[in-house]
């Protein structure tokens, strides 16, 4: 099964695709869409939507997994991340692909065995799990791969519950 993981954001939106077969995982692709801060918000969101739609069309995943938004003290950032999440959800819905969300601590627990792992530790564990020759960069892409790994390794009943 192929899973597209997304680390949503408008300035930088990471993606990672993993393929799971017989309990083995391999990286298919990863990267990040970056949009300039001065660009119109609608164009920034369109870039993300079109990127996700293109990945879905090319890779035919069984699911798109997103990292849940962390709502900190900055409401402006939370709003822009929410908008990015929205266009990812729409792209998946248009393609008829299930979407699932995982809390950051759940993703870190699945990849590192510790829900409060640092970004560098997540990056190293993603490299090890997927047997990548180099650390996955940028961090947003590594986080997206971690979300995809989390979904691919989740028990089927948990996947169904998270998708609802």
- Residue in the structure block whose two tokens are 């998270």: 162
The per-residue pLDDT for range 82-132, each reduced to its tens digit, is 999 999 999 999 999 999 999 999 999 999 999 999 999 999 999 999 999
Bigger pLDDT: 128 or 76? 128
Confidence of residue 154 (pLDDT cuts 50, 70, 90): confident
Residue 80 confidence (pLDDT): 86
Residue 99 confidence (pLDDT): 93
* Average pLDDT for 26-38: 95
Cβ partners under 8 Å of residue 74, min gap 6: none
Residue 46 confidence (pLDDT): 97
Residue 160 confidence (pLDDT): 54
User: Is residue 161 exposed (0-12), middle (13-18) or buried (19+ Cβ within 10 Å)?
Assistant: exposed
Q: How far apart are CA 18 and CA 5, in angstroms?
A: 8
Bigger pLDDT: 149 or 71? 149
SS3 string, the chain, reads CEEEEEECCCCEEEEEEEEEECCEEEEEEEEEEECCCCCCHHHHHHHHHHHHHHHHHHHCCCEEEEECCCCCCCHHHHHHHHHHHHHHHHHHHHHCCEEEEECHHHHHHHHHCCCCCCHHHHHHHHHHHCCCCCCCCCHHHHHHHHHHHHHHHCCHHHHHHHHC
Confidence of residue 7 (pLDDT cuts 50, 70, 90): very high
Residue 163 confidence (pLDDT): 54
Q: How far apart are CA 153 and CA 160, in angstroms?
A: 13
Q: How far apart are CA 98 and CA 127, in angstroms?
A: 26
Residue 79 confidence (pLDDT): 85
Residue 23 confidence (pLDDT): 85
């Amino acid at each position: 099964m192929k899973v597209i993981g997304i680390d949503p954001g408008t300035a930088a939106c990471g993606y990672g695709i993993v393929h799971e077969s017989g309990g083995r995982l391999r990286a298919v692709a990863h990267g990040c869409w970056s949009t300039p801060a001065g660009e119109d918000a609608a164009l920034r969101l369109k870039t993300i939507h079109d990127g996700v739609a293109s990945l879905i069309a090319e890779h035919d995943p069984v699911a798109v997994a997103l990292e849940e938004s962390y709502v900190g003290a900055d409401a402006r950032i939370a709003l822009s991340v929410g908008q990015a999440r929205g266009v990812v959800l729409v792209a998946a819905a248009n393609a008829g692909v299930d979407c699932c969300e995982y809390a950051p601590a759940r993703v870190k627990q699945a990849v590192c065995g510790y829900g409060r792992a640092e970004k560098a530790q997540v990056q190293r564990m993603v490299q090890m799990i997927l047997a990548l020759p180099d650390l996955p960069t940028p961090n947003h892409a590594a986080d997206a791969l971690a979300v995809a790994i989390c979904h691919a390794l989740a028990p089927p009943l948990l996947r169904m519950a998270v998708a609802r």
